[in-house]
Structure 1
Amino acid sequence: MDCRNIKGVVLNFTENGYKIGTKVGMIMIGLMSRNQIEKIQRKDLTILDILENTESLIYRVMATNWTICGTCDFRHITKPSVFWCSECDEGLCQECTEHHTISKATREHSTVSIDEYNKLPSTILEITQRCKDHNEKIQIYCNQHDCPCCKKCIVETHNECKEFVDIDDVIKDVKSSTAFVDIEHTLAEISENIKRIRKDREENLTAIKKTREKVESEIKMAKLKIVSYLDKLQEDILSELRETEESQSKLIQKLLTSVQQTEKNVTEYQHNIAKIKQHASDLQAFLVLKQIEHDVEEKDKFIQTLVKNEDLNHATLSWKMSSGVQNFQSSLATFGNIVVESKSSGITIARRKDKQAQIMVMAPSPISLDKIELKLKKTVSTKGNDITGCSLFSNGKMIFSSYEDKKVYVLTTERSKPFKITFEFQTFDVEQIDRSLFAITTGYEGGRIILRDLLERKTKKIIDVDVSNDGIAVSGDWLYFSARKNGLMRANIIDGSICEVVRGPMSGCAYIAVFGNNIFFTNKSKNTVTCSDLEGHVKWIFKHENILSFPLGISVDKYGNSYVVGNKFSNVVVISPDGKQSKVILSSADGLDCPQVLHYNRENNQLLVANQSGHAFLFDVTFK
């Protein structure tokens, strides 16, 4: 151990850290580097200077030493801690824990057993309640720099910042906040994506092996075909060779037969001439000689004819290789090429949309309902009968579903021609998913939700839910829908999985809206509008039958205000985010006649309201 002395201060350098001490005692500084110690040495500081410079570091080391009781350690007593208090930022032994729970200053503090606390990640254990720069308690959160601050931080480094929030307000209910839920959902989503990717890659490995075996078989088959074809060519040329030999042999044999007969005649003449010379009379010899002379002349002509007609040419057989065979090796340098084709795997990666962080993104503050003003922009013909669903795209497209006609009517911009889509099922409600994709519910007996692409003009997916599905709303990768007696349910857009949100039965023709961490749904039988969280826990129920009766379509603006169709009174009622205030903003005087649905586009601040048949009305919404 290296030991040095600086004006009464002993610095002990050990493998576990550094100790600053005097005769009074020692403090272990595990986080101080050798360079820091040497800097202190060069400054020739006193014990007070050293302790002042290392006060924050000393505190942090003591605070993170959760294995011993902090209160006892301050009294120079070493006792193992059994509980941890995050607010005091120190461990407590059994005796100190009892005092801690009854002391007025600490009785409201929540503690956790050391065993449980020890299970937290090391990065969490290193976080303290005090500023790392000033050893002051963290009290403020700076939104501008996204960091916690103590009072000294405000003065020294954040004196020009304006976006401060009390740290207690920031961390209040953080574990149940939308940000926490979002993180949990995102982690679950990432985990699911990883599983999908792993499964897809494993399937790709299996597919590569299968395709390799298939390609190998194809190569061998190609070789067999080539060999078979070459065998056929060989057989053809050998057959031709045999036929040529046979035909040439026949010609030669025929000529040879004639030559042999001529040779026989000539030989006979030769014998006869000898005998005539010996035994025939002169008259006989003269007359026979004329005959023989004529025959010999014929034989000579025969021989001359053979020479002249090239019948005596020597016939030989040879093989002239075709150019294809000659160039076979050069033109067929390889058996082909192995090509790797990269195609879309078809795997869909889930991605949460419109994430809201509790600290970084603050929801707009509620505004008075009296500040909401609507101005009619245009009136459109909805084309169909019994309009039960509508959706307003940011680019101006309008979609209307006709339950009676089993059709969806698409009204595009003025420059484009509107069109309709016919289905074999009832079409109850429609909801935009992205810039081209939208969902269609199929009502009481449909049992499925259809995902349709506007640009490609084709059905992308059908999710079999096997229950009634009326009103629908989208949040992230989930489609929330009313399933009548089966309650409020949701279906995953990616994998089609289905789960229950609200167990209690929903009314027929109930409509749904989702905003942030809240679900809003109507009940025409009870004349109510209910707000719950995404897990189905009810926050408030609105019922005001003298202004809202037979509520159907519902949608939410960017401030969290709910716009609800009152079918019986032909009106639209807006409800405050807490469900306590309401106001009629549209009525029959504005052209409403038994309206059933509406949709608020938060990007354009426009409200689309559709009557049961005939017309729909597009309003610009302003907030004064």
Structure 2
Amino acid sequence: MASRIFRGSNKDNAGDFIGESTVTQSCEPCMKTNISKTATVFCKDCDEFLCDTCKNPHTVYKPGQHNIVNVPENKSAPVILDMKGFDKCHEHAREIVFFCQDHSKLCCLSCVLIHRKCDQLDEIAKVSTQTRPDLQGIKQSLIKLQSEADAIIADCEQSETGLNESIAKISSEVETMKDRIIQLFEGAKQKLISEAKQFKTAEVKRIGNKRDASLKVKEVLNNVLSMCCVVLDRGTPSQQYIYSEQMKEKQKTIESTIDDQRKIKCSSTMTVSFSKQVTSLLEMGSNSIKLNYADNKTVNTSLLSLSPQPMPVTLELLVSVDLPQTGDDKKEPLLTGLDFLPDGRLVAVDNKNMKCIILNERLQRLGTPYKFKNNPGSVVCVSHDTLCVTGGGGGIKVVYLLSVSTDNTITLTREINTTSKFDSICCMSPSHMVVSTLDDPRPARMVSVDGVESDFDHFLTFPMKTYKVDESKCTYVQSKNTLVLTDRLAHTVYMNDTVNRTSRAVTNENIQEPRGACPGPGYTVLVCSKDNDSIVHLTIHGKILGTYPVDMRYPRSICVSKDDTRLAVSNSAEGTKKLHLYKISPAIN
């Protein structure tokens, strides 16, 4: 019983220490039978609390003297405290009665068997009367810890509230930035339109002056031609001689005037180009916005994105098909133009058999090929269902606009007659294409989907050559405003920045008789090296990122899918025509 009795215990201190525990004075005989009754008297001789029911049996049947007092009269009466298991040994669940000073451990009777050889094993009932523990100090320490726990909980709640407020603030800041960018673009658009209108006004004036001057020349020519006819038919030899001498000077003046008007170049189209910062922003995609933690660490909000820097790639051959003369083919196929539709279907033009063909991901023909009247040259996809095909060689000056349906039906929608013969063709913008020329001193030109032709800025440096069939091809890297021109016989690739007006000629032992070219992933270009039977991967600055041998002789035409994951290439070797489809993956260092 001694281990459960604290004489002179402080009820408030005990309650603070144990929490919900209470100090009670119960009848001890009733407690032995698991009955809880409040004690009304206390036997000093037996040191036992009793209720009214147990008081008489206690004095009658229990031997010895019994000094019975009422509980309220005993101001120093001991009380029984429910320790909530604190007075039990954790190992044996028995009542704690000893304290081992050697091991600083509370012990029950079972523990004593282990600690019986310890030098100092004190009975708690005796040592507790000699040394009073500093419960008040412990209480203050616990109160302090409780305050610290409350502070941590409050900090956690504040952090959670801060995170919720941060999300709302982030959303607001992004919306604000988006509105600023939209306003910026609207302002740039208005400025651009204003400049375009001013340019148009100036050009229209120049065109009017040029037209008026030409009309005056024409009027003079009409008069002198009329007079010339009369003199020629009715004039005497003397009159004819005089008129002839008179017209020599007149003719020189007219020729000079016409030559002056011919030199005046008037623009018929205007295009828009975007700065490096804008195109870089588009290529960064979701990586253009970063999330910052409170500790200033930055986390990328996108798991995967294309690198803004040109990177090497690997090519994995997916499908290879031979292209023999079959069916209604009159000749062995020669695929002079390739391009992907946005949905992944491949478009090919067969120059020799005058066809446009749709192929699936297994390079199997879909639908019925479209039949041209002349030999097509090259093809480009300008929208989700529209193709532009050049007339190729043979003196044909035409561009075909074709429509492709989801069921692979190809329909001619328009024929555009051109002033130059065009060979290769690629997209410059949604409404304009870049074309390489044949038998023209201008190696590359521009043509709109409406059929309006125009020339590049004269500041660009082009080879002083007039190319024949298969001597030069072109492509255009839209994100970098870079025109790429191949010169097969000079083993050279020309890179022309159309905005900064800079040009670079790239020659390398890996580039031998370059043929077709197309934009690659990022700011890169892929070029067919005919004599090396390979594909060369270059940056727009001319650095070679890689060279990839292909299992075909004389690779000629090449294209990359819109998502930069597939590459198609065909060749021109007689008797061994092939078409390959590759998977493009980032190279792992």
Q: Same fold (TM over 0.5)?
A: no
Q: TM-score, normalised by structure 2?
A: 0.44
